[in-house]
Amino acid sequence: MPPFPPGTVWLVGAGPGDPGLVTLQAAWALGQADAIYFDALVNAEVLRLARGDCEKVFVGKRAGCPSPKQSEINAALIAAARRGQRVARLKGGDPYVFGRGAEEAQGLVAAGVPFRVSPGVTAGIGGLAAAGIPVTHRDVNQSVTLITAHDASGGLSSKLDWEALSKGAPVLVVYMGFRLMSVIAARLLAAGRPESEPAAVVANATTDRQQVVRTTLGRLAAGEDVEGISPPAIIVVGGVVALAPVLGLAAAAAVQDAPTLAEALGG
């Protein structure tokens, strides 16, 4: 494993929810860290990989809840590193996929703090796979587009070209779009996607609370079929959703009682 010297920061991806999807490098980093600054979507089981004397600081952001500003998080990471701590910044999914990891890395660079990125499994790929939805299939699509429903202001970005997205991407995967799913679906319909196109919403992906709703773009625009679903959720639109009835059942049948992450790693 690479060295994790004092005074450095690792931006660590925790994966989409299932603690078993944490990488070996991430597990090693968490066991070395003096301080862990973690997000709201990080599974608490992952934190069990930390040393007993490790400082654990919650810096999560959730819609409608008080949360630290990004500048405050950046400053906390820099201050901890300058105190000589090994700092792990633990983020859900992958730090660089709609996770503000690049903003934190820029802050560290500006402050002269050495850092490393430990990639994680992003929900738009791993989370969909757990629901039986492959993001690519050679009979369906040769490209896939990842979209975030939130810009820096917290709303739907005005920079998104819905007509171009509709025409250019056979499969669309939308992060953080739960509150705006009807609006997003309506934009895609207005841009030319058919009402009958398969769509799905996957909530709490890869966890024991996972919910999967398969529907159509038209019904999604009308707000149908999603009662009882709660965020965090990933939305996917495209022909790959049609594979879920077979692949999803096969994946569910393969799930058995499993040891905890700590048990699996001998902890």
pLDDT tens readout for residues 47-102 = 999 999 999 999 997 655 678 999 999 999 999 999 999 999 999 999 999 999 99
pLDDT of residue 248: 75
3-state secondary structure of 57: strand
Q: How many domains does the chain have?
A: 2
pLDDT of residue 262: 56
Question: Residues 25, 114: one domain?
Answer: yes
Kindly tell me if the per-residue pLDDT of 213 is higher than 60.
Answer: yes
Considering the domain boundaries, does residue 264 fall inside one?
Answer: no
Question: Residues 129, 248: one domain?
Answer: yes
Domain enclosing residue 49, as ranges: 9-121
Catalytic residue among 34, 39, 91, 94: 39
Considering the domain boundaries, does residue 217 fall inside one?
Answer: yes
pLDDT of residue 255: 47
Residue 216, CA distances (Å) to 167, 230, 240, 243 in order: 18, 18, 12, 14
3-state secondary structure of 203: strand
Strands 198-203 and 233-237, sheet pairing: antiparallel
**Gap between the Cα atoms of 183 and 180, Å rounded:** 5
Considering the domain boundaries, does residue 146 fall inside one?
Answer: yes
Question: Residues 79, 151: one domain?
Answer: no
E strand segments, 127-210: 145-148, 172-175, 198-203
Domain boundary among 60, 95, 121: 121
Kindly tell me if the per-residue pLDDT of 251 is higher than 60.
Answer: no
Residues in Cβ contact with 72 at an 8 Å cutoff, skipping those fewer than 6 apart: none
pLDDT of residue 52: 96
Q: Which DSSP state fits 117?
A: E
Residues in Cβ contact with 38 at an 8 Å cutoff, skipping those fewer than 6 apart: 14, 47, 56, 57, 58, 59, 60, 90, 91
Question: Residues 175, 116: one domain?
Answer: no
Q: What is the mean pLDDT of the chain?
A: 92
Chain position carrying tokens 């499993």: 258
- Give strand pairing partners of 116: 10
Question: Residues 114, 170: one domain?
Answer: no
Give the rounded distance of the alpha carbon of 217 from its chain centre. Answer: 22
Question: Residues 93, 156: one domain?
Answer: no
CATH at 110: 3.40.1010.10
pLDDT of residue 157: 82
Considering the domain boundaries, does residue 27 fall inside one?
Answer: yes
**Gap between the Cα atoms of 56 and 54, Å rounded:** 6
Task: Quick: pLDDT tens for 105-119.
Answer: 999 999 999 999 999
3-state helix, strand, coil in the chain (%, to 5): 35, 20, 45
CATH at 162: 3.30.950.10
Q: Report H helices in the chain.
A: 24-32, 70-82, 101-111, 128-130, 162-168, 181-190, 217-221, 244-253, 261-264
| Active-site residue, 91 included | no
Domain boundary among 103, 121, 139: 121
Question: Residues 87, 14: one domain?
Answer: yes
Give the rounded distance of the alpha carbon of 212 from its chain centre. Answer: 16
Catalytic residue among 18, 34, 94, 176: 176
Question: Residues 172, 224: one domain?
Answer: yes
Question: Residues 145, 109: one domain?
Answer: no
pLDDT of residue 252: 59
Domain boundary among 121, 148, 183: 121
